[in-house]
Amino acid sequence: MDLEKRHLKELDWTILLILVGLGAYSYLGISGSAAGLETAQKQVVWYVLGFIVLGASLLIDYQLYKGLAYLLYGIGIVLLIGVLFTPPINNATSWYDLGPVLFQPSEIMKLFIILATARYLAKQSENPDRFSKFYHLFPPALLVGVPLVLVLIQPDLGTAMVYVGILASMLVVGGIRLRHVLYLGSMVGSFFAGMTLLYFYHKELFFKIIKPYQWDRIVYWLNPDLEAMGRGFQLKQSLIAIGSGQLMGKGMNTATQASYGWVPVGESDFIFTVIAERLGFVGAGVMMMLFFFLVYRMIRIGMEAKDAFGSYVVAGVVGMISFQVFENIGMTIQLMPITGLPLPFISYGGSSLLSNFLIVGIVLNIGMRKQKLMFD
């Protein structure tokens, strides 16, 4: 145990207060959905466990996580391979059924990716030519690419996109060259151009690459009115519910579309819809401000970290949370396609919540040990 009084003085208590505020929003959102009060009370239990996990993560120096980074990464890869052989749940092999709870290894893998990539980039940080050649990007891309492919096989496009967001934020902090960004942009643009040509001239091949249900998500995201009571129903009802919340919301005791089940998975993927309907633009805006300040406080910790490993870890966490918040809220207001990605600290789910608490705990750990004393 490495925790001392001087470390507690450096603890960012503001982040803990923000987490409490997000917990309140989580309870209000879940209790206002069709899942009801019982599910919201279960989320309170997960929150209590989450704070215990966060506290435990502060007890040891974060350098231990650096030493275990590659081992943890390997364990995560084994878990992702193993989950592919489990019975499908909701048409995806993403969970281990542990009886009373479901364990989703792709959630904890976010942390393992961040730690492993941060360790590699920290080792290269003293090399001024670390990203001078395009092939220098291959090792960190491979660290993220292997679990990304395994998650896509499940299939879980949303989590795979989060992995990409993690890598992008860490490479930006690592000093990726602008020309390499342009190369990557050209590759992505070429891919979409090729897929467009396939769609118009070789649809058989196109639908071998893109599954029909994935294509439906794009079509009914762009125009949910095409099948308002079918495949566009979820997005259409989300837009109606959010709009009906207006400025101040319908209130805590008023029956809403979400409470009657008109907003599918309102306790999870579409929990922002429930919050916006109950609390309106003002209430939803305050929640988004909490996320903004959470990211801001983390960025400060990353800038003040005592070593490159700590800075890279925080960069990965900031990229992860920022992307998830943007994607989740964006998909409820037709800004982004629907991917089934939970809203961090808000959506119901034990695996996601405990993983996020552990990850934030490591960020706080880095902030607590930012000062290097002369006689340490």
Specify which of 112-116, 307-311, 338-342 reaches the highest per-range mean pLDDT: 112-116
- Considering only 14-23, 93-102, 321-330, which range has the smallest mean pLDDT? 93-102
CA 102 from chain centre, in angstroms, equals: 18
Whether 346 and 22 have beta carbons less than 8 Å apart is answered as yes
**pLDDT computed for residue 255 by the predictor:** 63
CA distance 33 to 258: 5
Tell me the mean pLDDT in the region 61-76: 90
| 201 burial type by CB count under 10 A (0-12 exposed, 13-18 middle, 19+ buried) | exposed
User: What average pLDDT is seen over the chain?
Assistant: 85
Evaluated on CA atoms 228, 234, 235, 236, the torsion sign reads positive
Q: What is the pLDDT of residues 209-235, one digit of tens each?
A: 777 777 777 887 888 877 767 777 888
Longest pairwise C-alpha distance within the chain: 70
User: Nearest 5°: phi and psi at 295?
Assistant: -65, -40
Indicate if the pLDDT at residue 114 is higher than 80: yes
Q: What is the pLDDT of residues 233-285, one digit of tens each?
A: 888 888 888 888 888 888 777 767 777 777 778 788 888 999 998 888 999 99
Please state the three-class secondary structure of the chain as a single string: CCCCHHHHHCCCHHHHHHHHHHHHHHHHHHHCCCCHHHHHHHHHHHHHHHHHHHHHHCCCCCHHHHHCHHHHHHHHHHHHHHHCCCCCECCECCCEECCCCEECHHHHHHHHHHHHHHHHHHHHCCCCCCCCCHHHHHHHHHHHHHHHHHHHHCCCHHHHHHHHHHHHHHHHHHCCCHHHHHHHHHHHHHHHHHHHHHHHHCHHHHHHHCCHHHHHHHHHHHCHHHHCCCCCHHHHHHHHHHHHHCCCCCCCCCCCCCCCCCCCCCCCCCHHHHHHHHHHHHHHHHHHHHHHHHHHHHHHHHHHCCCHHHHHHHHHHHHHHHHHHHHHHHHHCCCCCCCCCCCCCCCCCHHHHHHHHHHHHHHHHHHHCCCCCCCC
Specify which of 62-71, 87-96, 268-277, 288-297 reaches the highest per-range mean pLDDT: 288-297
pTM: 0.88
Q: Where are the domains of the chain?
A: 5-368
**pLDDT computed for residue 100 by the predictor:** 75
Tell me the mean pLDDT in the region 15-38: 89
Indicate if the pLDDT at residue 99 is higher than 80: no
Indicate if the pLDDT at residue 21 is higher than 90: yes
CA distance 18 to 179: 38
Of the two residues 55 and 229, the one the predictor is more confident about is 55
CA distance 305 to 364: 11
Of the two residues 157 and 345, the one the predictor is more confident about is 345
- Considering only 110-119, 190-199, 256-265, 350-359, which range has the smallest mean pLDDT? 256-265
Residue 376 pLDDT level (bands cut at 50, 70, 90): very low
Indicate if the pLDDT at residue 373 is higher than 50: no
Structure tokens at 272: 């922002």
**pLDDT computed for residue 25 by the predictor:** 93
Whether 334 and 278 have beta carbons less than 8 Å apart is answered as no
**pLDDT computed for residue 1 by the predictor:** 53
**pLDDT computed for residue 374 by the predictor:** 43
CA distance 108 to 125: 26
CA distance 94 to 88: 7
**pLDDT computed for residue 252 by the predictor:** 76
Q: What share of the chain has pLDDT > 90, as a percent?
A: 32
Residue 294 pLDDT level (bands cut at 50, 70, 90): very high
Q: Would residue 340 be called left, alpha or beta, if left means φ above 0 and alpha means ψ between -120 and 50 degrees? A: left
**pLDDT computed for residue 2 by the predictor:** 58
Give whole-number Cα distances, 359 to 106, 189, 206, in Å: 14, 33, 38
Tell me the mean pLDDT in the region 71-86: 92
Q: What is the pLDDT of residues 143-180, one digit of tens each?
A: 999 999 999 888 888 888 899 999 989 888 887 778 87
Indicate if the pLDDT at residue 181 is higher than 60: yes
**pLDDT computed for residue 375 by the predictor:** 42
Structure tokens at 77: 């890869």
- H-run or E-run covering 188: helix 178-201
CA distance 298 to 201: 48
Whether 218 and 192 have beta carbons less than 8 Å apart is answered as no
